[in-house]
Structure 1
Amino acid sequence: MNPPIATPLGTTRRWKPAPLISGALALHAGAAAAVVADPSTWPWAGGSVIASHLVLMAGGLWPRSAWLGPNWTHLPATAGQQIALTIDDGPDPDVTPRVLDLLDKYGAKATFFCIGELAQRHPHCVEAIVARGHAVENHSQRHRHTFSLQGPAALRREIAAAQDTLTHITGTRPLFFRAPAGLRNPFLEPVLCQLGLQLASWTRRGFDTRSRNADTIAQRLLRGLAPQDILLLHDGHAARDAHGVPVILAVLPKVLEAAARAQLQCTTLRAALVPEPAQAARSQMTL
């Protein structure tokens, strides 16, 4: 379950090291003190430090882990009978408009994690996402495979550049960040705190950038589908079927129809920050 957000997203918050990071820092200090007191302990001290680094690395290689800091893998409980459909790696001028048409057809809302450079090339796609009532969030400026190997200064430049790019196009600052491929390191959370962003991963993914079988992808996403799930698909880097059609276009109807049968409503991550009773009260006030 996601921890409650004490400071509103979009504002700078104080970084609180996760227990794993606090423990690693304490272990480093203890190892250094042990070696100073008794140099013969260096093999044990060095081995402990290396082990802690391996555990931290494992946390960064596991996209759904909260070992390195808060990470949304589900919507908050206040979202009730809602799920979130998140769509990554766009915008794509060929695929994104067709995805938007499908979402309109089923009356569903989605969160698009956009790459800053692609948004600059295709601003009309980003504008269309917002105009149709969906949310645009931060997926880094360049989506480099080396993202998780960068230090704090480089991470901040990369994420802040995407913040500025997407804010300029949409007029609204992103509140959520998703790391490229979900991979990260211990330096990421302090940067997100500075920029007022919340890390978001997913409950399950379809692997639709690799698989070309729409049925298989849909089964991965729908197996155990439940309220507050966060599902991951891609409009950018989308795999294509034997006829060259982006596979997401065949998967989306299957997912949205299954959600409708289960009486689950698709919402955006930022809309899920507002509890259902507050949403209902606001709707009644507009009647």
Structure 2
Amino acid sequence: MNAPGTSRRWTPTPLIGGAVAVHAGALASLAVAPGAWPWAAGGVIASHLALTAAGLWPRSSLLGHNWTTLPESAGACIAITIDDGPDPDVTPRVLDLLDAHRARATFFCIGERVRAHPRIVEAIVARGHAVENHSQRHRHNFSLMGPRALRREIEAAQATIGEIAGTRPVFFRAPAGLRNPFLEPVLCGLGLHLASWTRRGFDTRAGDAALVARRLLNGLAARDILLVHDGHAAQAPDGAPVVLAALDAVLRAAADRGLATATLREAIAG
């Protein structure tokens, strides 16, 4: 597999190839026997449902390669990935927490927020963390976009983050993890690799930091990719972003288990 950051040739997955074959077969059957249209339509509909289901499953590799765990070469490392920032209130506090634990993380940032808070992004990089692509605008309809719209959205974030962070991203995470079959060819052309996660804390919804930490720590093992948020972070009853206490508990537990942290770039390149 090509290293992240290097453009590569797109190869359809078996699911996508099968869907193309179903469409071709449906057209051929209609040309020969127009009365067979109910069967042809049924096959096409079934293939579309399968593609949609694959796109709604963030950890799926049915639409293309997807980093859900670190490679074996990462050893006793985990990756902390932090989405939806930068946030002017939460992100600096997350950075201080990471410093206190001597931990490194990967921030999947939204291009518009990077443009709005460039000093925070510079601080992320200066403190030894990585900044990756989480789209330019984090649109709710991202998974419904066609190939041209996807490319514009992702390229815009590449340019924004590359300018401000000083290094262009090599990983991409789809908004909410949702995608469609057009995404992987776009990522291949841009040299980006899709990354999802092994486990997540749902810290944008739960106001209980202990619950978020338990979700992240349940079965925690080497090579896991954890997902938390500095943007859209839920608040505890005292008004504190739950990500702070939850991440503190996770990093303490990881250290007790002999697990180090690394950015995705470090873990996968190693």
Name the counterpart of 1:252.
247
Residue identity matched to 1:134: H
Q: Output the CA distance in 1 between the equivalents of 2:128 and 2:35.
A: 64
Q: Output the CA distance in 1 between the equivalents of 2:82 and 2:25.
A: 44
Name the counterpart of 1:193.
188
2:203 equivalent to 1:203: no
Name the counterpart of 1:117.
112
Residues 119-138 of structure 1: pairs in structure 2 closer than 5 A: 119-138=114-133
2:25 to 6, 18, 30: 30
1:219-265 per-residue CA deviation (whole Å, 9 max, x = no partner) reads 11010001100000000000001111111111111000010011000
Deviation of the 1:86 alpha carbon: 0.2
2:176 equivalent to 1:178: no
1:198-226 per-residue CA deviation (whole Å, 9 max, x = no partner) reads 00000011000000001110011010001
Deviation of the 1:167 alpha carbon: 0.2
Name the counterpart of 2:257.
262
Name the counterpart of 2:39.
44
2:214 equivalent to 1:216: no
2:55 equivalent to 1:60: yes
Deviation of the 1:40 alpha carbon: 1.3
Residue identity matched to 1:22: G
1:75 to 52, 62, 70: 70
Residue identity matched to 2:199: R
Structure 2 gaps, min length 5? none
Deviation of the 1:31 alpha carbon: 1.1
What TM-score does the superposition give when structure 1 sets the normalisation length?
0.93
SS of 2:78 mapped into structure 1: strand
Q: Output the CA distance in 1 between the equivalents of 2:160 and 2:115.
A: 7
Residues 160-175 of structure 1: pairs in structure 2 closer than 5 A: 160-175=155-170
1:10-50 per-residue CA deviation (whole Å, 9 max, x = no partner) reads 12111001110001001110111011111111100100100
Deviation of the 1:114 alpha carbon: 0.3
Q: Output the CA distance in 2 between the equivalents of 1:41 and 1:258.
A: 60
Residue identity matched to 1:166: I
Name the counterpart of 1:237.
232
Name the counterpart of 2:144.
149
- Aligned-pair identity (%): 69
2:67 equivalent to 1:88: no
Deviation of the 1:274 alpha carbon: 2.5
Q: Output the CA distance in 2 between the equivalents of 1:222 and 1:11.
A: 34
2:12 equivalent to 1:12: no
SS of 1:270 mapped into structure 2: helix
Q: Output the CA distance in 2 between the equivalents of 1:88 and 1:170.
A: 16
1:49-98 per-residue CA deviation (whole Å, 9 max, x = no partner) reads 00000000000001000110000100011101000000000000110000
SS of 1:172 mapped into structure 2: coil
Q: Output the CA distance in 2 between the equivalents of 1:61 and 1:274.
A: 29
Give the alignment's Cα RMSD to 1 decimal. Answer: 0.6
Q: List structure 1 runs of 4+ shifted beyond 2 angstroms.
A: none
SS of 2:228 mapped into structure 1: strand
Deviation of the 1:8 alpha carbon: 2.2
1:226 to 207, 221, 231: 221
1:85-127 per-residue CA deviation (whole Å, 9 max, x = no partner) reads 0000000011000000000000100000000000000000100
How many residue pairs get aligned? The number is 270
Q: Output the CA distance in 1 between the equivalents of 2:3 and 2:265.
A: 11
Structure 1 gaps, min length 5? 1-5, 276-287
2:264 equivalent to 1:273: no
Q: Output the CA distance in 1 between the equivalents of 2:117 and 2:107.
A: 14
